[in-house]
């Protein structure tokens, strides 16, 4: 019998299979991103990069520095090899030339972005892999990086469901004009009020969502409304996953962008919560009434040496990868968090990953599950409030 953390030595001998219902069952197959060809995106309605101290003030764009790309790729490659040594099958995306103009009949965009964070684009629910809409024009074509993997899975696993959400048009009607100019002038309370009311960058002209705004807890899916996920996207997901309970959630985060460093499942009955981004009281009580313990994450380790060109928060510390219910991969410098979670009985696998942050996130962002052992289970038998 295979123990947690010691999967079969040669994953290539196992048949390809799509199966993943949550974020903690034993991991058997995963995609790890690449930093190749990543660019600082050209400005667009949904996002504007501004790194004046690092040579990329607002309005400028182009390839990430070669030394940064090389260091990030070294850490990604080493992480992929660490997973393989643990018997986990690893696939990698096929990078495009992201530093080129792209467009549709509705718009032209001067650059794409990259393919480091597959979690943003792909969502695995059971035997289905769903391609998210994405809400950045620079990421509209990113799905092409993963099509070779998806095609191979489709050919090998007759039970695999390959789905794609409606490809958005991303016309100007999908964005609130001048949003960023106004939002940056608001005080914290005004920004939080707009988050609560979902009065953010996106309109409701069409369904929009990133896969990384969805947290999987078996029968329940929690969808964060954010800068990249609108209510229409949530409604589309609710209809698409009609056999599941799909919940819209927000937190006290002035810049919500992906849920996987805010509300992090660890194992059945245990969830990690970013204390600076409090979930609403109804969600907290819903978890408690179903006998879940909510851990408030310790403060992230010092980011005195935060890489340049990074748009990630220090709370990226909580962006970790579960190998099984007892084993967590955590960035090596996040010792306080590792110590905190060790006290709950987890084996901690420290992973050098700080250089990857500027390319789109942490260990969870950089991966997407293809196969985990386990079946669909209901971890929330009791209802509470809107949940």
Q: Give the active site residues.
A: 210, 258, 365
Q: From 14, 9, 96, select the one nearest 370 (Cα to Cα).
A: 14
**Number of CB atoms found within 10 A of residue 189's CB:** 9
Q: From 114, 119, 145, select the one nearest 132 (Cα to Cα).
A: 119
- Looking up tokens 């029968």, which residue turns up? 219
Residue 294 phi, psi (nearest 5): -105, 115
Q: From 23, 215, 237, select the one nearest 132 (Cα to Cα).
A: 237
Q: What span, in angstroms and rounded, lies between the C-alpha atoms of 167 and 71?
A: 34
At 354, list the tokens.
């700080």
**Regarding beta strands 89-91 and 122-125, do their DSSP bridges make them parallel or antiparallel, or are they unpaired?**
unpaired
At 36, list the tokens.
């190749």
Q: From 326, 323, 381, 371, select the one nearest 16 (Cα to Cα).
A: 371
β-sheet bridge partners, residue 367: 32
Q: Give CA separation, 267 vs 59, 137, 218, 295, in Å.
A: 43, 35, 11, 12
Three-class SS string for 296-309? ECCCCCCCCCCCCC
Q: Give CA separation, 108 vs 150, 151, 175, 194, 370, in Å.
A: 27, 28, 15, 29, 33
The count of C-alpha atoms lying within 13 angstroms of the C-alpha of 308, restricted to the half-sphere facing its C-beta, is 13
Angle formed at CA 149 by CA 8 and CA 95, multiple of 5 degrees: 115
Q: What span, in angstroms and rounded, lies between the C-alpha atoms of 250 and 282?
A: 11
- Looking up tokens 């960058």, which residue turns up? 201
Q: What span, in angstroms and rounded, lies between the C-alpha atoms of 300 and 316?
A: 8
């Amino acid at each position: 019998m295979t123990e947690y953390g010691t999967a079969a030595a040669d994953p290539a001998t196992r048949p390809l299979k799509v199966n993943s219902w949550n974020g903690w069952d034993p991991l058997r197959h995963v995609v790890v991103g690449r930093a190749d060809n990543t660019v600082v995106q050209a400005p667009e309605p949904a996002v504007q990069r501004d790194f004046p101290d690092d040579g990329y003030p607002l309005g400028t764009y182009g390839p990430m520095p070669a030394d940064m790309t090389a260091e990030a790729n070294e850490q990604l490659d080493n992480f992929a090899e660490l997973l393989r040594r643990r018997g986990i099958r690893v696939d990698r995306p096929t990078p495009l030339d992201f530093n080129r103009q792209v467009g549709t009949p509705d718009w032209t965009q001067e650059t794409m972005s990259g393919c480091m964070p597959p979690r943003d684009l792909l969502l695995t629910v059971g035997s289905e892999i769903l391609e998210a809409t994405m809400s950045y024009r620079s990421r509209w074509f990113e799905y092409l990086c993963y099509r070779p993997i998806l095609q191979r899975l489709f050919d090998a696993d007759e039970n695999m469901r390959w789905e794609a959400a409606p490809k958005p048009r991303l016309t100007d009607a999908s964005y609130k004009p001048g949003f960023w100019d106004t939002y940056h002038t608001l005080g914290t309370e005004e920004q939080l009020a707009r988050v609560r009311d979902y009065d953010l960058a996106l309109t409701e002209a069409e369904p929009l969502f990133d896969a990384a705004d969805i947290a999987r807890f078996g029968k329940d899916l929690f969808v964060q409304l954010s800068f990249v996920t609108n209510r229409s996207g949530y409604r589309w997901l609710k209809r698409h996953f009609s056999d599941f309970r799909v919940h819209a959630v927000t937190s006290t985060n002035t810049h919500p962008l992906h849920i996987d460093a805010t509300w992090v499942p660890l194992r059945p009955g245990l969830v990690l919560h970013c204390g600076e981004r409090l979930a609403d009281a109804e969600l907290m009580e819903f978890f408690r009434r179903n006998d879940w313990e909510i851990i408030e994450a310790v403060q992230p380790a010092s980011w005195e040496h935060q890489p340049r060109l990074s748009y990630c928060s220090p709370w990226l510390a909580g962006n970790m990868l579960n190998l099984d219910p007892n084993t967590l991969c955590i960035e090596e410098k996040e010792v306080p968090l590792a110590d905190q979670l060790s006290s709950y009985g987890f084996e901690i696998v420290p992973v050098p990953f700080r250089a990857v942050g500027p390319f789109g996130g942490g260990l969870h962002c950089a991966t997407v599950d293809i196969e985990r052992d386990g079946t669909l289970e209901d971890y929330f038998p009791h209802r509470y409030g809107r949940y």
